[in-house]
Amino acid sequence: MRFTPTTYALAYLDSTRGSTPVELKGITSRFWAAVWRHRRWGWRRKIIDQVIKLRREQAGVIGVELSVAKPFTDSATQKFQRELTKALGQAVELTVTLKPHLLAGVVLTVGDRRYDASLKGRLDNLYHALAGTEQQL
């Protein structure tokens, strides 16, 4: 069997299901010790990301990342989250990231899909169209 970060994340979630907070601490310690023994410590960030993703899926929540060029106000962020929840028909966990290199606009990542409505994205597309090259993703 080939192990992946997802395999480790599923094993962790299975082993912690129904455990008390005291038991959880011991299980987590033993889990990370096993990851270390298996020489997969470099995967720790990927394993954590997979655990978060799988827990969201179990709870019926979609993880959405919103990258913005300029900070959003709290009310704008809440309104955006409400509209996304309505549009997707599921609860949304919104993470807002400030990325000034976008110049203006937003980049929305929903699961594995990416929607680029930024000025940088448009300029990159224009450059590639004028240069006659394919855009690198």
Q: What is the pLDDT of residues 47-105, one digit of tens each?
A: 998 898 888 888 888 888 888 888 888 888 888 888 888 988 888 888 888 888 888 88
The verdict on residue 53 lying in a domain is yes
pLDDT value at residue 88: 85
pLDDT value at residue 93: 82
pLDDT tens digits for range 21-51: 888 899 999 999 999 999 999 999 999 988 9
pLDDT value at residue 128: 84
Domain count along the chain: 2
Residues 75 and 93 in one domain: yes
Q: In sequence order, what DSSP letters do the residues of 19-68 get, joined into one string?
A: --HHHHHHHHHHHHHHHHHTT-GGGHHHHHHHHHHHHHHHHTEEEEEEEE
The verdict on residue 28 lying in a domain is yes
pLDDT value at residue 61: 83
The verdict on residue 43 lying in a domain is yes
Last residue of a domain, one of 57, 76, 99: 57
Residues 46 and 75 in one domain: no
Residues 87 and 105 in one domain: yes
- In 3D space, the residue among 53, 14, 18, 46 whose CA is nearest the CA of residue 31 turns out to be 14
State the pTM of this model: 0.60
Identify the H or E element spanning 132: none
Residue 45 domain boundaries? 5-57
The verdict on residue 83 lying in a domain is yes
Residues 111 and 71 in one domain: yes
pLDDT value at residue 137: 55
**Helix (H, G, I), strand (E, B), or coil: what is residue 96?**
strand
pLDDT over 70 (residue 19): yes
Residues 74 and 28 in one domain: no
Q: Up-side HSE of residue 38: CA atoms within 13 Å toward CB?
A: 17
Residues 87 and 117 in one domain: yes
pLDDT value at residue 1: 67
Last residue of a domain, one of 57, 79, 101: 57
pLDDT tens digits for range 108-130: 888 778 888 788 877 888 888 88
The verdict on residue 137 lying in a domain is no
Last residue of a domain, one of 13, 35, 57: 57
The verdict on residue 25 lying in a domain is yes
